[in-house]
Amino acid sequence: MFFLKMAFKNLTRHKRRTLITALIIAFAILIYIMTEGLMIGMTEMSFNNIINLESGHLQVAKKSYWEDRKELPLDNLISPTEELENKIEKTTGFKAMTKRLNFSVRLNNGIDELPVTGVGIDLGQDRKVFRLNKYLVKGRMPREGSSEIIMGTKLAELMGFKNGDYAILLFRTDEDTFNTIDGEIVGLFNTPHPSLNESSVFLPLSTAQSRLNVEDKISHYAIRLTEQDQAIPAAEELNSRLKDPYHAYSWKDAAQSLVTMLEMQEIETQVILAIILTLAAVGIINTVILSALERMEELGMMKALGMHEREIVYTFMLEAAGIGIIGGSMGIIMGVIGLAIFNINGIDMSALTAGGDMTYGFPLKGTIYAGWELNSFIFVFLYGVFISILASVFPALWAARKDPVKAIYHR
């Protein structure tokens, strides 16, 4: 307690110096909190977009299909069986499931052609898993058994389509022959998932199946659970019951490259934090050395009166911890204010990308908001304090080891 008091009093001896050194730590923490907040915000929105529009919480497909699913093949499809569906329904937290058939399509407007992804959807079930219908800006969802289609406004604009126009879908069937669908565009959607807007066409599952000659086969099941966090354990649980070649994949598996990208970003944020905190550490070392130099005579006297070296080191460490706590609190307060400002206004992605539609791999667009996470606040605060204490150990040892006689006779 005595040392605590002394450290506190020492801190107030040079208020300006204490404050300035604390400021370096504050900045490190501020920058960390802001970038982390932004990343959390973008991550959450991206994941939500992927779950709500692309993959659902879980997907069940054949292993061999999953590996080249990006090529949109028509082999290794699933023939739905009651047995398989029953197994899926028994998953803990199961809410709904739907069937989807993805295939490669060339969209033709009579002049130009564009390769896009065709998605056959089970109209009755799809809305229970995905939120596509919520983003319809014009028209309605297609009707079962018809050759009605819906597409993104962006894609329609590019191809010069309006609601009510007919678009030609050209594709290769399972028997390697070409077939077409004259699709009537009955709805246009504008989702926050850019690639969905730009390169997907949705149509009723039964129509897709009959035109592709795949009978009742589908490419995968998409499953919605009650909670997002259940997805990974649920996938494991389901996999223990599913027999080869079937396999369940969580949304994290579906968004694998996004997850890798986020991990890289996370490392980058950590590196920046480490750089600034290293600077802060040098600042702390400097402060402790300066304080020690100033108090050399005092230290000598205290040692002569019987204070142990260890106790002197403690005092300096406590002082450094004080600086860390002041800096950490300032940083967190500034960071929270900064994030609040971000969240009141939101960040317009299109302004960030100079008006373009570039997304840099993030499946999101429009205005984004930063996220909050108490854990990251606590982590960075403790980290700052820890670095401060660590940095003070060596200069404190250096100061404490001075010979009391020489220290008193300092000048």
Partner 1 sequence: MKFLMNIAFKNMFRNKLRTIVSILAIAFAVMIIVFARGLIDGMIEDTYSLYIHYDTGHIKIIDQEYEQKERLLSLQYTVNGVGNKSFSEMKEDLNNLEGIKMVIPRLKFGAAVSTEEELVQMLAWGVVGAKELQFTNLERQLVEGRMVKSGREVVMGTKLLAKINKSVGEDVTMVYTTAFSSFQGATFEIVGKIESNLPLLNEQLVFMPLDTAQRLLYLNNESTELLLVTNNREQANEYLPAVKNYLEKNGGADKYLAQSWKNGNSFIQLLEVSETIYNFVYLFLVLLSSIVVINTLVMIVKERTQEIGMMSALGLKKKEVMLLFMLEGSAMAVVGSFFGALAGGALNYYLSGVGFDYSAAFEDIDVLMNPIIYPTFKIEHMLFAFAIGVIVTTLTAIIPARRAAKLDPTEALREI
For partner 1, the binding residues (CB under 8 A) are: 16-17, 20-21, 23-24, 27, 71-75, 104, 110-115, 158-159, 172, 176, 257-258, 260-261, 264-265, 275-276, 278-280, 282-283, 285-287, 289-290, 293-294, 352-356, 358-361, 398
CB of 381 to partner 1, least distance (A): 19
CB of residue 285 to partner 1, shortest distance in Å: 6
Name the residue nearer to partner 1 (CB basis): 278 or 345.
Answer: 278
Q: Are strands 166-172 and 94-108 parallel, antiparallel or unpaired?
A: antiparallel
Minimum CB distance to partner 1, residue 1 (Å): 29
**Least Å from the CB of residue 126 to partner 1:** 24
How far apart (Å, rounded) are the C-alpha atoms in residues 233 and 243?
A: 17
Calculate ∠ Cα 140-144-146, nearest 5°. Answer: 85
Q: Which is closer to partner 1, CB of 68 or CB of 89?
A: 68
Looking at beta carbons only, is 85 or 266 nearer to partner 1? Answer: 266
Q: Label residue 232 exposed, middle or buried (CB < 10 Å: 0-12, 13-18, 19+).
A: middle
Q: Three-state SS for 73?
A: coil
User: Nearest distance from residue 237's CB to partner 1, in Å?
Assistant: 28
Q: Is the peptide bond before 245 cis (omega within 30 degrees of 0)?
A: yes
Q: What angle do CA 120, 123, 127 make, to 5 degrees?
A: 110
Closest distance between partner 1 and the C-beta of residue 300, in Å? 17
Give the residue from 194, 187, 214, 257 showing the smallest Cα distance to 103.
214
Give the residue from 118, 85, 115 showing the smallest Cα distance to 100: 118
Residue type, 150: I
**Cβ closest to partner 1, residue 94 vs residue 103:** 103
d(CA 181, CA 197): 20
**Sequence-ordered alpha helix ranges (H) in 119-255:** 123-129, 153-159, 194-199, 205-212, 231-241, 251-254
What's the min distance (Å) between Cβ of 113 and partner 1? 6
Element spanning 116, H or E: strand 113-121
Using the minimum distance from each CB to partner 1, give the nearer residue, 306 or 355: 355
CB-nearer residue toward partner 1: 19 or 136: 19
Report the residue number, 136 or 334, with the smaller CB distance to partner 1.
334
| Pair of tokens at residue 327 | 């800096």
- Taking the complex as a whole, the smallest distance from the CB of residue 71 to partner 1 amounts, in Å, to 6
In the complex, minimum distance from the CB of residue 176 to partner 1, in angstroms, rounded to a whole number? 8
Cβ nearer to partner 1, comparing 279 with 307: 279
Residue 373: both structure tokens together: 């996470």
The residue among 321, 298, 260, 262 whose CA lies nearest residue 407 is 298
Q: Which is nearer to partner 1, 79 or 350 (CB)?
A: 350
CA 221, 225, 229, 231 dihedral sign is negative
Q: What are phi and psi of 27, to 5 degrees?
A: -65, -40
